[in-house]
Structure 1
Amino acid sequence: MSPLILLVIVTGLLRLLMASLMGLGIDETYMVAVSHHLELSYFDHPPVAWWLTHAAMWITGSDAPVIVRLPFILLFAVSTWLMAKITTAVFHDKQAGFWAALLMNLSPVYTLTSGGWVLPDGPLDCALLGFLWFSLCATGLIPDRHRWGSWLGAGLCAGLAMLSKYNGALVLIGLPLFLATVPGARVWLRRPQPWIAGLLAVLLFAPVVIWNQQHHWASFAFQGDRAGGLRFQPFAPFGVWAGEALFVLPWIWVPLILVWLRALQRGPAAPKSWLLALFAATPVLLFAVVSLWSSRHILYHWSAPGTLMLFPLLGAEVARRLQAGAPRLRRVIVGTAAFVLIALALVGSQMRFNWLSAAFGPGILGKGTDVAGGVDWNDLRPQLAARGLLKTPGLVIAVTRWNDAGKVDYALGGQFPVTVLAEDTREYGIVAPANRFLGRPMLLLTPDTHQADIAARFAPLFDTLTTQPPLTLRFAGYPFMTLSVLAGTGFHGLPPGDVK
């Protein structure tokens, strides 16, 4: 068995194990709950990840964590194979391909976020690697006799990338930049293939445009607003880069940036490395630049599609150094693998057995927290049912934050409509807007334990609003969150200013 196949199998099995041990994170639960509603697109992101989740639940009849994560685990296995295939073809070195694939699997932002969680990043990374492969073939950097097929493959993967996550478009920019800056490649700008490939990508993206047109361009506005702000923060890019390095692992991120800078320095004279550098450039630079003025929080994984394009360069560099004799480098790689495996074992066992609370008491997790969001609220429904609170005809469940909506919706198995009584409703403002439930009884659940304040705030929205005894959620036998519970009748609707 080849080392690459062994890598794919072992890492896939490890992800399946982690998927069965860990509950769904906040974003995962939200996506799973909302994926019951099949739409052309969605408020937060384009639809591919939601469609995959919907398909997994429809085929199996289950929304268990390991089931809904399975499509993403399989896609990352394909991504691992593609990374090795691309690197091997570019540098004519199977060892370089293996090291590129291994290092990608050792980087937390890829092996976790993209590799096994219900998030758009997994489909995006797989589509982008497919786009990179077909771009290399279409431009002749990798020998290929089927140029039309390669250009159509590039267009197909570009469309799938845009259907996965908006920031995928930042990587796609690299191909026209390459065609414009490499003299031997400019001939393609006068031929129909790249233009037809671009048209194919646009056509595949059409569901997102249609959905946005039907919903007042809500998703485009939401994502575009993240670049808003009018303040000058000269040191913000360093914070962004530090966060990105932490997510990738600093001793992997720094070499990635160094090989990227070297490829930029070589320029079009080394077209293969130049193409990889251009594919990475916009995502790597853009979010750091935006942080100079943006008042919004820049999430560190947004640039990950860019650094993904640099692993072939790093794999080739690692292979070259190991062939020259670099025992320290080999020890670093082995140490990184051990570090990642130990970290996964600690996190996985904690999320399954909650040994931190057993060893140090429940306070170690922080009062009122959701344990980093990785705990399912499995005992919510039994407790509500035991109190008889779910028997009210026409009952609607209300929460005060969108990130609680997914947790509640998932815990209740989608059996009750869940709505958000807040300005930021995300997809719940589309599939279950509060004002759709005028006159209906509501059960209001919130982690805020100041029940008197909650009752005073929301009482004007109901004919009656009565407080119920708080509800304590438990994680592996230990309390980790207390919910306030209020029962309302005759919902009046949200005031116009609160309707998203």
Structure 2
Amino acid sequence: MPTLQQTTDDAAAFRIAATVILVGTLVRLCLAALLDPGVDEAYAVAVATQWQLSWFDHPPMAFWWVKAMREISEPLFGDDVPVLVLRLPFVLAFTITSVVMFDLTRGLFGPRAGVWMVLALSLAPFFVVSAGSWLVPDGPLVLFLSLTAWLLSRILFFERAPASERQLWLAVGLTLGLAGLSKYHAALFAVGAAVFILATHHRRRLMTPAPWLAVAITGLVASPVFIWNAQHDWVGLLLQSSRGVGPGGTNWLGFARSVFGQLAYLGPWTVIAALAATISLLWIRGSRAGPVAFLAALGLPPIILFTAVPLWGGEALPHWQMPGWLFLLPILGHAIALLEARRHQLHRAVRGIAVIAATVLAIAIFAVALIRYKPPSSALIARLGLNSFVEESSTLSIGIVTGPPIGSQKGPLPLVASGQRA
């Protein structure tokens, strides 16, 4: 039976988390209004002109959202729908992601851990800007992966009646399928979840039909991607798989870009602390089949794989690892909450780091707003090396692509440039 103090602390944690999520949503709305679309967003706007099963470089979900918002908004704005309006589903999706991840963390580790997780998530530049508002596949992906992880946690770590567990498994099939319609990263999530279940006592749950029905539902929901690829000589899968194959030899510069890019996208304090928390908590006796191991199994495969790609000469972009880091943040929140409970002095340092991270992020947002409304002179742009940034946000944001939408024709497709982040 929870004490009055525990109830009060839990209520305070809920209020803090709700405030952080609300403020984060407002910040992302402001950024969505301030920032011009870059290469990938301009590409999304340009190609999402008709409904189709998939596209050559990505599954269709993000493009479907852009197309849907354009059709909904055209009666009000005509053909020139503002980018802010197109970004609204992506902003809302990440708000839902934040709520789901808070509840996932709260259920596994307690409300205080959920608060620290939400704070780390809301201060990570990648999640605030790219996954949180841009017209790119990362927003839909993290939404549906977080829902799938939430559902799996309810199956694996909470006792439920058989009928309730069956329903959860069917929902897992739906959300994982939707993640597959968002980005090919969903396959790594599925592998991590399967390995964790098979390697632990949770494999007994596979003795019922429900998990296998979930697999079938996942395949059915994600089938548009496979149908489209089959119709176009598997060009989408070949494109993505080829990006990890290099000419041979170790690409140390690419490896450095991958590592330091992750530090920049999340903040070095978050990366280092999340890794340290994951490693230390995995060594605790009895944790190999627990929530920490579950989250690590979901998060570590994309982090390890895509960080290592340059070691055999392939190409790697630091945002490829971000869906993995999403699932290490609850572990980080859990570790900080444990420090707080022990009255350890380190929790003061954590709060200080959070303040510093918030300050850095606020300064960056202010700088973006300043550049947006009071552009620097050409000489200053050249001196600071901002030429490519300004060009992308001004020229390429027009998003004009001549010819039919990519993938609207059948047969082999040209491997045209689709942006820098795919």
Using structure 1 for the length normalisation, give the TM-score. Answer: 0.73
**Counterpart residue number, 2:167:** 149
Q: Does 1:352 align with 2:343?
A: no
Paired residue type of 1:328: A
Once the two structures are superposed, what CA deviation does each residue of 1:390-421 show, in whole Å capped at 9, x if it has no partner?
Answer: xxxxxxxxxxxxxx5x7342xxxxxxx714xx
Select 1:315's aligned residue among 320, 326, 333.
Answer: 333
Deviation, structure 1 residue 142? 3.0
Q: Does 1:430 align with 2:421?
A: no
Count the aligned residue pairs.
Answer: 390
Q: Compare CA radii of gyration and give the structure with the larger one.
A: 1
Give the distance between the partners of 2:38 and 2:90, measured in 1 at CA: 15
Shift in alpha-carbon separation, 1:365–1:250, aligned structure 2, 3 A: closer
Select 2:364's aligned residue among 340, 343, 350.
Answer: 343
Q: Comparing 155-164 with 340-349, which one deviates more in the overlay?
A: 340-349
Once the two structures are superposed, what CA deviation does each residue of 1:429-488 show, in whole Å capped at 9, x if it has no partner?
Answer: 53489xxxxxxxxxxxxxxxxxxxxxxxxxxxxxxxxxxxxxxxxxxxxxxxxxxxxxxx
Deviation, structure 1 residue 229? 2.0
Paired residue type of 2:292: S
Q: Does 1:327 align with 2:348?
A: yes
Deviation, structure 1 residue 133? 0.6
Select 1:87's aligned residue among 84, 105, 114.
Answer: 105
Using structure 2 for the length normalisation, give the TM-score. Answer: 0.86
**Counterpart residue number, 2:402:** 418
Q: Does 1:72 align with 2:90?
A: yes
Paired residue type of 1:36: T
Once the two structures are superposed, what CA deviation does each residue of 1:49-88 show, in whole Å capped at 9, x if it has no partner?
Answer: 1111111111111421111111000000001101110111
Shift in alpha-carbon separation, 1:248–1:192, aligned structure 2, 3 A: same
**Counterpart residue number, 1:124:** 141
**Larger relative contact order (CA 8 Å, sep ≥ 6):** 2
Give the distance between the partners of 1:292 and 1:188, measured in 2 at CA: 38
Give the distance between the partners of 1:162 and 1:348, measured in 2 at CA: 35
- Unaligned runs of 5+ residues in structure 2 are 1-13, 417-422
Q: Contact 1:12–1:77 (CA<8 Å) still a contact in 2? A: yes
Give the distance between the partners of 1:180 and 1:497, measured in 2 at CA: 39
* Residues 37-186 of structure 1: pairs in structure 2 closer than 5 A: 37-61=50-74, 62=77, 63-91=81-109, 93-139=110-156, 141-145=157-161, 146-183=164-201, 185-186=202-203
Q: Contact 1:32–1:53 (CA<8 Å) still a contact in 2? A: yes
**Counterpart residue number, 2:49:** 36
Give the distance between the partners of 2:388 and 2:414, measured in 1 at CA: 26
Shift in alpha-carbon separation, 1:328–1:302, aligned structure 2, 3 A: same
Q: Contact 2:262–2:318 (CA<8 Å) still a contact in 1? A: yes
**Counterpart residue number, 2:293:** 274
Q: Contact 1:26–1:407 (CA<8 Å) still a contact in 2? A: no
Give the distance between the partners of 1:368 and 1:103, measured in 2 at CA: 31
Q: Contact 1:226–1:294 (CA<8 Å) still a contact in 2? A: no
Structure with greater helix percent? 2
Paired residue type of 1:35: A
Give the distance between the partners of 1:51 and 1:175, measured in 2 at CA: 27
Paired residue type of 1:201: T
Give the distance between the partners of 1:432 and 1:26, measured in 2 at CA: 23
Structure with greater strand percent? 1
Shift in alpha-carbon separation, 1:321–1:264, aligned structure 2, 3 A: closer
**Counterpart residue number, 2:28:** 15
Select 2:270's aligned residue among 241, 246, 252.
Answer: 252
Select 1:208's aligned residue among 219, 225, 229.
Answer: 225
Deviation, structure 1 residue 45? 0.6
- Unaligned runs of 5+ residues in structure 1 are 378-403, 410-416, 420-426, 434-495
Deviation, structure 1 residue 289? 2.6
Shift in alpha-carbon separation, 1:497–1:187, aligned structure 2, 3 A: closer
Shift in alpha-carbon separation, 1:364–1:238, aligned structure 2, 3 A: closer
Q: Does 1:26 align with 2:39?
A: yes
Shift in alpha-carbon separation, 1:497–1:322, aligned structure 2, 3 A: closer
Q: Comparing 264-273 with 25-34, which one deviates more in the overlay?
A: 264-273
Shift in alpha-carbon separation, 1:20–1:418, aligned structure 2, 3 A: same
Q: Contact 1:130–1:157 (CA<8 Å) still a contact in 2? A: yes
Deviation, structure 1 residue 33? 1.5
Give the alignment's Cα RMSD to 1 decimal.
2.5
SS at match of 1:430: coil
SS at match of 1:164: coil
Give the distance between the partners of 2:249 and 2:102, measured in 1 at CA: 42
Structure 1 residue ranges, 4+ long, deviating more than 6 angstroms after superposition: 496-500
**Counterpart residue number, 2:248:** 231
Q: Contact 1:22–1:352 (CA<8 Å) still a contact in 2? A: no
Give the distance between the partners of 1:263 and 1:230, measured in 2 at CA: 39
Deviation, structure 1 residue 201? 0.6
Q: Contact 1:365–1:371 (CA<8 Å) still a contact in 2? A: no
Deviation, structure 1 residue 349? 2.5
